[in-house]
Amino acid sequence: MVRFAEEYELNRVNELRKQVNDLHVAGKPEIFKPGFPEELREFVHSIWNDPDKAIVVAEREGEICGFAVLHHIVRPETPFMFVRDYLDVDEFGVDEAHRREGVATEMIAFIRAYAKEAGFSRIELNMWEFNHDALAFYEAVGFTTYRRYMEMQL
Ligand SMILES: CC(C)(COP(=O)(O)OP(=O)(O)OC[C@H]1O[C@@H](n2cnc3c(N)ncnc32)[C@H](O)[C@@H]1OP(=O)(O)O)[C@@H](O)C(=O)NCCC(=O)NCCS
């Protein structure tokens, strides 16, 4: 079952956030801070209290095994661009012990239905290029790449 989180579940959400953070640290150690310090654990409460954000969880047999952070973003018009108003999937992950069981697919279906219902016309997310598993998943559920970040190490 996929639904919005309850406040008492935020510690469990943090366990899953740590798994995602560890993966990012391993893949991009020059960018991501190692460990999962107090500051990062506390950040879940800022997310919880932000009216533009929401936390989604997936539950299997009473256990939270997946989570997503949604963020309603509005970027004002610029000389180059029209107003952009969309739902961003800010953080996303499934417990290592429950991968390849369709949990993430179920979460995307929930997020998609919610976004449609709320009147959004686009869902967006960004991901790190090293994360081949995530890319395979996002493409499998229908996301396409529309923009790239590039770098050159000096
Ligand atoms: C990416 C992730 C969310 C996928 O979650 P999941 O619940 O295992 O995904 P699903 O079981 O719904 O997978 C659906 C389909 O996506 C594709 N897919 C998922 N994981 C894949 C992988 N590791 N390699 C290749 N394809 C994959 C497959 O087509 C899969 O269907 P199948 O299992 O029938 O072959 C999960 O691996 C994860 O949490 N990774 C670590 C955190 C992360 O990378 N988060 C996203 C970036 S912030």
Pocket of ligand 1 (CB under 6 A): 20, 23, 92-94, 99-105, 127, 131, 133-134, 136-137, 140
How much distance in Å is there from the Cα of 133 to the middle of ligand 1? Answer: 6
Confidence of residue 84 (pLDDT cuts 50, 70, 90): very high
For helices 10-27 and 38-49, what crossing angle results, to 10°?
120
Average pLDDT over residues 131-154: 97
Which residue has the CA at smallest separation from atom 28 of ligand 1? 137
Which residue has the CA at smallest separation from atom 17 of ligand 1? 137
In this structure, which long-range contacts are made by residues 115-122, counting pairs with CB atoms below 8 Å and at least 24 apart in sequence?
115/87, 118/87, 120/85, 120/86, 120/87, 121/86, 122/86, 122/87
pLDDT of the residue at 93: 98
Q: Is the pTM of this model over 0.95?
A: yes
For the chain, the structural domain boundaries read: 2-140
2-140, CATH topology level: Aminopeptidase (3.40.630)
pLDDT of the residue at 103: 98
Tell me the torsion sign for CA atoms 32, 36, 37, 39: positive
**Beta strand pairing call for 84-94 and 53-60:** unpaired
Which residue has the CA at smallest separation from atom 29 of ligand 1? 140
pLDDT of the residue at 89: 98
